[in-house]
Structure 1
């Protein structure tokens, strides 16, 4: 989940962005930008194999190269705002443990059928699907029945609560 300040559309600097894909026509501009920002001779002189901190120096060099390429790409190709997919979590009060078990069974049968498309797997998928639908409908009907009974009892005993 992204922090709220990243989701603020009014302040464009806070909106997460991603780089635009490679544009072949701008290849020369990208190469020139990388060459301007990068001095390989300077970076390679900083590396000393005999140094105890060689691994950290190498990591810093790679991070520096990565930064040069990313900065050049964003400078030449630009960037666009990243899509933020928000998954809506629907809480269905009638969805109980039995529904969850049957849903898991259905998903398992579906995966098996997608891997091995045989008559047996198709039959198992059909059975699991029917069982899942049956349990879901039964659970929903029970929930509706309980809600109706609760409303009726409130209506009969204490009509002001409605």
Structure 2
């Protein structure tokens, strides 16, 4: 699973970028494995209201793909049905009653293109509410996820505003629970010193910050008064980081991490012979062609989409050959015509018959 942290400046800011979502999408496609669950969390400065963040395929798109539809493409087009099976409401709720802004429309389009879904108003204690994420009652912070990641969300909550953590924003609390495969590496002789948050000692942390708040103000003033080149900004940010780290050490202390280093063996390291790098590349090309066609329904984009949808997996011909050689070609020929349960019954009966014939022949030969 991949988790990305996002900050997009307000659309009226001098730091705003019209291509912010395109840049995030390119980065996500580059880093994300095809089979990997994906999520993004942060301040998108996007007001979406209750705009739909998914697409129900229309007949025109299905007609374009026509006979080239396969399981992979169908799964992508009807991904939203995973929410229905997990009993996640398709319709979101939101306390933010203001009209969606430009970045809000861009966010929902981004979600539609990448099969990502807004969690706010859909799950956890926020289900059916869609609490505002700022003290100004706007909802501009989001946790967006792949559809199959909803089943791992154990807790989702918007924490009440606290000036200690932000001047405007509320915190998003998310707890994910899943099983992972781990291996233990050799223990290092060097024990890393770490700091752990201790809830009962948080007042010490606040006191340590407040008794040196003049230092923080001086650093903030330094940013305002400086020429704001990279060197000055990096130096001030480093000083702020060190200040908060020292306050945490003084408040909670440090301890040696005695736990062995664990490594998660995710889907990215598993190369399937029937779905290799070439297949992954073909699928990315299809998604890219689909995105271009949705943005501009031209003849060229339509033809590109049809070409991109014609790829097939290496194992199809091999599977068909195996079925032919073993006398089960009816399974291939009956695709879509009979239920899978009926196919299982037929396979079981044929195996029983074949085993019975072989056993009878062996008994006859042995009696001679």
Same topology, TM > 0.5: no
Structure with the higher fraction of residues in strand conformation = 2
Structure with the higher fraction of residues in helix conformation = 1
**TM-score, structure 2 as length reference:** 0.21
Q: Which has the larger radius of gyration?
A: 1
